[in-house]
Structure 1
């Protein structure tokens, strides 16, 4: 198809805003040609035209760490006294909610997140799943929802020892089975990739980490939480005499394909080791604030040469809101308005996230508008009342753009939403069924939580 009548925000190496006049020729899921739209219409008269109507056309947002399985936590009451520490939050909420999920819960917690992503312009998601009473085939269920929605994603299962050796092994095998499925490169899975999922050092024995290293195929990265709370460091030091990153390094977890989430409590030695191994780390400021775990030294990490991206840890797929929280949080924490500038935020959330997904998809350029890049695009109905340029673009997004302004979402050249109408998912039907399933999930949660 042809995309016409749009003002382009291409991202890439040079931030710029291109006035109307250029069109995009989309074929086979990529941007095949960028040229004056009148020329494209003349040269390709039989192509379907998708009219941007004068809106901004830009790459879709990327979420580098999320949890679909946590969707049913919205509004959930937790029995007993409120959790006062991060460990208590895990024990009272997340480790009971994941046990309450059955196959329907896995499916619909994913579907409601995918509706949210499409509506708000997030086109790629890297998920970290847990459902200890529905492990086998759980990644296939989520993959089916991804393929139905038409989004781009990487999936994994969160291996942990907290539910016993049998379920730990099931988790290991679920990762391995799904990785093999993705490596078969079935055309239906063209938009899917896989990581080898692990929970965190504080719930993983040396034996399980060694088993994961043994099973994980070459070229596949791990996806694991690291030093999100101080308890992770305490456990690692008490059981191994090593800090978290160095313990994980011992088992081959650190590699250019791997993602460590959070890194709130890393020291300089750990930061330097992650930079040396070119292991990815993702920043989730909304979650860190919600869990009161602290503020990750993101700017120090970048200065050390670490590769840092941005996720949402299961919060809403409104990634511009995650940008805004990152921009403000570090200023407040350091009491310094110079910290975490707009260019730093976009370096993490745009440039680095794009590089991460491009590597994951075998070099297919994702996250920019250029010839040969993936046609993962959004239309944004933004009407600036001050000049908008490449130089001040980050601040317009931080202080002007809203997720409600996204009117179209396109992935691999396929429109998933146009003029705010979802085209691949039925939001009303999904929400109605999810409400029924969430109600049953909450009942099981309460039974588990009060045992």
Structure 2
């Protein structure tokens, strides 16, 4: 009923963001308690799939479900560190790519550093496949191409490129290479040499929001103090409910 109400209220306005088949409990719940079908089939029946919808995780999807995702044009988001931290498995991203399913790189809030996710994605996919020569192209495509394509669906400007008419989103990295750096090997430098902490300046849509490692026009100490106070209140509320 909730899904039907979501589809009706949305009425083509945008897509949906849903975590799917992250753990086997999701699979069993759908098959045993909710109609005897797979999670992806349920979403299809309730009109929640499509080119504007993002499905998070999709670790335990079947080949049939992959076909549904592919044919519906739905996008997937992989969150390698979150999956490892929750010990729910490794998503078959290499198979997604072989089937032509678009996959983005995410974090599921396990980290705020996308380059960290990039590094972890590559090693878990290679470890899972027992092959040390896979995953590189997929990793770079997810983070540097597909993320921008997916995000561009929700904003008025083109993202992920430096060209006229695109959003002026730029970061400046503080990085000293010890081997030659060029457009041919920049991926390798970002994978093995850089981390999020190397970012020294951030420009969003032409506005400088972070310059030389300091926020512009933002009282960082005030926000941090507010966050600390709110987190303590939330923790206290959770403790009260637990008892």
Which of 100, 105, 108 is 1:313 aligned to? 108
Which of 98, 109, 115 is 1:303 aligned to? 98
1:280, 1:424 → 2: CA distance? 36
1:158-177 equivalences under 5 Å are: none
2:135, 2:154 → 1: CA distance? 27
Whether the 8 Å CA contact 1:227–1:264 is kept in 2: the answer is: yes
The alignment's C-alpha RMSD in Å is 1.2
1:393, 1:401 → 2: CA distance? 10
Cα distance, 1:371 vs structure 2: 2.0
Whether the 8 Å CA contact 2:97–2:138 is kept in 1: the answer is: no
Provide the secondary structure at the position in 2 that maps to 1:228.
coil
Cα distance, 1:339 vs structure 2: 2.2
Which of 205, 218, 224 is 1:425 aligned to? 218
Cα distance, 1:404 vs structure 2: 1.7
Q: Does 1:274 align with 2:69?
A: yes
2:221, 2:113 → 1: CA distance? 20
Which of 143, 161, 167 is 1:349 aligned to? 143
CA radius of gyration, larger in: 1
Cα distance, 1:298 vs structure 2: 0.5
Cα distance, 1:401 vs structure 2: 0.7
2:116, 2:217 → 1: CA distance? 25
Q: What is the TM-score when the length of structure 2 is the normalising length? A: 0.96
The aligned residue for residue 186 of structure 2 is 393
Q: Does 1:222 align with 2:222?
A: no
The aligned residue for residue 239 of structure 2 is 446
The aligned residue for residue 243 of structure 1 is 38
Describe the shift of the 1:328–1:424 C-alpha distance in structure 2 as closer, same or farther (beyond 3 A): farther
Cα distance, 1:367 vs structure 2: 1.0
Q: C-alpha offsets along residues 13-68 of structure 1, whole Å, 9 cap, x if unaligned?
A: xxxxxxxxxxxxxxxxxxxxxxxxxxxxxxxxxxxxxxxxxxxxxxxxxxxxxxxx
Cα distance, 1:392 vs structure 2: 1.9
The aligned residue for residue 6 of structure 2 is 212
Whether the 8 Å CA contact 1:219–1:257 is kept in 2: the answer is: no
Q: C-alpha offsets along residues 58-117 of structure 1, whole Å, 9 cap, x if unaligned?
A: xxxxxxxxxxxxxxxxxxxxxxxxxxxxxxxxxxxxxxxxxxxxxxxxxxxxxxxxxxxx
Higher relative contact order, structure no. (Cα contacts within 8 Å, ≥ 6 residues apart): 1
Whether the 8 Å CA contact 2:82–2:107 is kept in 1: the answer is: yes
2:7, 2:225 → 1: CA distance? 42
Cα distance, 1:434 vs structure 2: 1.3
Describe the shift of the 1:338–1:449 C-alpha distance in structure 2 as closer, same or farther (beyond 3 A): farther
2:77, 2:242 → 1: CA distance? 30
1:89-108 equivalences under 5 Å are: none
Which of 369, 385, 402 is 2:162 aligned to? 369
2:118, 2:238 → 1: CA distance? 32
Q: Which runs of 4+ in 1 moved over 6 A?
A: none
Which of 312, 326, 329 is 2:121 aligned to? 326
Whether the 8 Å CA contact 2:78–2:106 is kept in 1: the answer is: yes
Which ranges in structure 2 are unaligned for 5 or more consecutive residues? none
1:213, 1:432 → 2: CA distance? 40
Which of 172, 195, 203 is 1:379 aligned to? 172
Which of 211, 222, 227 is 1:434 aligned to? 227
Q: Does 1:253 align with 2:16?
A: no
Cα distance, 1:220 vs structure 2: 0.7
Q: As a proportion of its length, which structure holds more strand?
A: 1
- How many residues align structurally? 242
1:273, 1:390 → 2: CA distance? 37
Q: C-alpha offsets along residues 408-443 of structure 1, whole Å, 9 cap, x if unaligned?
A: 111110000111110132221111221122111111
